[in-house]
């Protein structure tokens, strides 16, 4: 019998800390990690570079199917993304890619084209998948689903700090504005909108440290799979 893959989904808006949580959880549990936002970002970057209009649904879906993208870890264990063999990790984090990603992500044919690629990340012993629709569409049978929230101001502050720490220029009021616009688009699109799955646990991390969020998440995981701590 094939070894099972336990899936933990972490969904939420930009800057909620879902990427940080998912990465720490995966490391702690020895699971694989899928940062699905990176897939939409890398598709958007490829489209911008090749001059594919961000509303040309069929061309973008075709590009999504043929995309040469690899997720790797550096020697220091930092994640990096290669597009056509080139390390584009830094470029992906900018808000220009975030905004373009949210535009292409609203197109149903694009989402359909990326579905199998995302599901292929599920390998034993398990996967932590973060994004917007991990618990609702991509892994609807996941036994642990977390929806991470935080106030818009706090999310903008976190994203600002994250970008600054990576040496990327950003302005707080602009970031707040861009995150608000992106949220609005992600929550109101007709296909796979950002919303908690009915069986998700909602965690508001506004006043929680990342360690507290991680503890809560590990508690939820231990209900389905007791872990040595
Ligand atoms: O999480 P991140 O900010 O990297 O995602 C960039 C954009 O990609 C989001 O604003 C969203 O529109 C899109 N996305 C999505 N579904 C996912 C992950 C990301 O629609 N599962």
Residue-by-residue DSSP string for 68-92 = -EEEEE-TTS-EEEEETTEE-HHHH
Between the CA of 219 and the centroid of ligand 1 the distance, in Å, is 26
pLDDT > 60? residue 229: no
Rounded to an integer, what distance in angstroms lies between the CA atom of residue 89 and that of residue 83?
A: 9
Q: Count of CB atoms within 10 A of residue 33's CB?
A: 22
Select 6-222's CATH number: 1.10.3720.10, 3.40.50.300, 3.40.250.10, 3.90.950.20. Answer: 3.40.50.300
| Top-confidence residue, 225 or 152 | 152
Rounded to an integer, what distance in angstroms lies between the CA atom of residue 192 and that of residue 81?
A: 24
Domain spans in the chain, listed from the N-terminal domain onward = 6-222
pLDDT, tens digit, 9 for 90 and up, residues 37-86? 999 999 999 999 999 999 999 999 999 999 999 999 888 878 899 999 99
Residue 32's pLDDT is 95
Residue labelled with tokens 């590009």: 63
3-state SS, residue 24: helix
Between the CA of 13 and the centroid of ligand 1 the distance, in Å, is 8
3-state SS, residue 145: strand
**Given ligand 1 and candidates 36, 103, 168, 192, which is best to mutate, with the most ligand atoms within 8 Å of its CB?**
36
pLDDT, tens digit, 9 for 90 and up, residues 6-21? 999 999 999 999 999 9
Nearest CA to 39 out of 105, 96, 87, 85 is that of 105
3-state SS, residue 47: helix
Query: What pLDDT band is residue 226 in, cutting at 50, 70 and 90?
Result: low
Taking every pair of Cα atoms in the chain, the longest distance, rounded to a whole number of angstroms, is 54
Residue 130's pLDDT is 98
Across the beta sheet with 79-83, what order do the strands follow?
Answer: 69-73, 79-83, 86-87
**Given ligand 1 and candidates 17, 64, 103, 105, which is best to mutate, with the most ligand atoms within 8 Å of its CB?**
105
Residue 52's pLDDT is 97
Is 40 in contact with 48 (CB distance < 8 Å)? no
pLDDT, tens digit, 9 for 90 and up, residues 141-189? 999 999 999 999 999 999 999 888 888 888 999 999 999 999 999 999 9
Residue labelled with tokens 């992106």: 182
Q: Is the model's pTM score more than 0.85? A: yes
Q: 98 CB less than 6 Å from ligand 1?
A: yes
Q: What is the dihedral of CA 27, 123, 14, 80, to 10 degrees?
A: 70
Residue 227's pLDDT is 56
pLDDT > 70? residue 228: no
Phi, psi for residue 12 in degrees, rounded to 5: 160, 170
pLDDT > 80? residue 1: no
Nearest CA to 135 out of 10, 2, 229 is that of 10
């Amino acid at each position: 019998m094939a070894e099972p893959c336990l899936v933990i989904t972490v969904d939420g808006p930009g800057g909620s800390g879902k990427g940080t949580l998912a990465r720490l959880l995966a490391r702690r549990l020895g699971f694989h990690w899928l940062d699905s936002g990176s897939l939409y970002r890398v598709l958007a970057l490829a489209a911008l570079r090749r001059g594919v209009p961000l509303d040309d649904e069929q061309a973008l879906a075709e590009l999504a199917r043929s995309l040469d993208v690899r997720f790797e870890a550096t020697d220091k264990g930092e994640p990096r993304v290669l597009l056509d063999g080139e390390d584009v990790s830094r470029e992906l984090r900018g808000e220009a890619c975030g905004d373009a990603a949210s535009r292409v992500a609203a197109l149903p044919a694009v989402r359909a084209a990326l579905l199998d690629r995302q599901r292929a990340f599920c390998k034993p012993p398990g996967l932590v998948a973060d994004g917007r629709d991990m618990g609702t569409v991509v892994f609807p049978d996941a036994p642990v689903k977390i929806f991470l929230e935080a106030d818009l101001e706090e999310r903008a502050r976190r994203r600002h700090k994250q970008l600054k720490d990576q040496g990327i220029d950003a302005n707080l009021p602009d970031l707040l504005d861009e995150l608000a616009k992106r949220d609005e688009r992600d929550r109101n699109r007709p296909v796979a909108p950002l919303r908690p799955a009915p069986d998700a646990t909602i965690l508001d991390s506004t006043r929680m440290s990342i360690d507290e969020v991680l503890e809560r998440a590990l508690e939820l995981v231990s209900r389905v799979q007791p872990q040595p701590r």
